[in-house]
Amino acid sequence: MRPKLTLKQIARELDVSISTVSKALRDSSEIGEETKKKIKAFAKLYNYRPNNIALSLKNRKTKTIGIIIPEIVHYFFTTVISGVEQVANEKGYNVIVCLSNNSFDKEVLNMELLANGSTDGFIMSMAKETLQKEDYHHLTEVTNQGMPLVLFDRVIDEVHCDKVIIDDVIGAKKAVQYLIDKGAKKIGLVSTVDYVSVGKLRTRGYLEILRENNVEIDENLILKIEDMDHSEAEIKDFINKNDLDAVFAVNEHFAIHAIKAVQEKGLKVPDDVSVIGFTDGELSKRFIPSLTTVSQHGERMGAEAARLLIDKLERKPEEEESYKTVIVETSLIERNSTKL
């Protein structure tokens, strides 16, 4: 076992000073060619690499960005991470991942931990509990300290920072308009409770587009899932009670439960009932029938978020502060859960 080589050791070995070694390796013109050659050769031979921690301490930069997400066992978040990782890597940044498990306390803990020197900035999607509590002190805390923060997906107006969102309203409108165009009259909505902003926005899109098409809104055709653990039963009940042509679900899971419920009712998808989901994951692609969905392009969102963050990190402090909100476009992907 051979411990890591340091400047000091090289210096001792070659009988020169530490600063000479440092300069030689950075190819400074101050150092004589001979000495440089010797030192570089030695460093190369023994595979010297500067210690990141020491550099971080010196430069007051860690070159790592922290991602905090509610859960990782979730296709969408996974694609976002992938996007972040890609551009972060290109620009020489590392990515450190923390999970809040949708818990407010863990989110706060994680942020504090990472804020104490571990990362230069944050990319995050807020925990459900945080959205309910409406307590954002940990976010303002870090931004006050001058650490850039980029919020994505689950976002709130109260926090001033860069944001990456999708056009939830427009995405929902696209989906419902598509159903209307295919001749659907009674279109059900399966959504979440309103403090989850995506649920709220997609619901708004649904309502708006119905109005624009002069379709009367029937509150009975709107289901808001309270408890994810009982979503299956709630959806089944909802499908059984109502006589729908089509269903717009705000995520994959709801969409699939809707399809199952329709089938168990003895009807066919898409012949009797069309179903559209939101978020384009593995499930949508491979389910039978494969799901027509509004794709969120998580990878693009991650990439955008990383770009925004790194821009902030590498900006000169003189430049004036301003916050951008990037909207990543959704697109409707037609598959087999809707009529042609």
Partner DNA sequence: TTGTACGCGTTATCAC
Partner DNA sequence: GTGATAACGCGTACAA
Residues that bind DNA (CB under 7 A): 4, 6-8, 15-20, 22-23, 25-26, 30-32, 34-36, 49-51, 54-55, 57-58, 60
The backbone region for 119, taken as left when phi is positive above 0, alpha when psi lies in -120 to 50, beta otherwise, is beta
Q: Report CA-CA distances (Å) from 151 to 102, 118, 297.
A: 15, 19, 16
Task: Give min distance, CB of 137 to a copy of itself, in A.
Answer: 11
Asked whether 76 and 298 are in contact (CB, 8 A), the reply is: yes
Size of the site for a copy of itself (CB under 8 A): 51
CA angle 46, 52, 55 (to 5 degrees): 110
| 62 contacts a copy of itself (rule: CB under 8 A) | yes
Task: Give min distance, CB of 144 to DNA, in A.
Answer: 16
> What is the sign of the dihedral through the CA atoms of 111, 116, 118 and 120?
positive
| 4 contacts a copy of itself (rule: CB under 8 A) | yes
Question: Strands 187-192 and 331-333: what pairing?
Answer: unpaired
Quick one: which segment of 11-19, 154-162, 243-251, 283-291 binds a copy of itself (CB under 8 A)?
283-291
| 264 contacts a copy of itself (rule: CB under 8 A) | no
d(CA 207, CA 191): 12
| 322 contacts a copy of itself (rule: CB under 8 A) | no
Task: Give min distance, CB of 256 to DNA, in A.
Answer: 50
Place of tokens 């150092």: 31
Task: Give min distance, CB of 63 to DNA, in A.
Answer: 13
Query: CB-wise, 7 or 305, nearer to DNA?
Result: 7
Q: Which two tokens stand for residue 201?
A: 């926005």
Chain centroid, CA 158 distance in Å = 19
Binding footprint of a copy of itself on the chain (CB under 8 A): 1-4, 47, 49-54, 56-57, 62, 64, 71-75, 78-79, 81-82, 85, 94-99, 112-118, 141, 144-146, 253, 256, 260, 281-283, 286-288
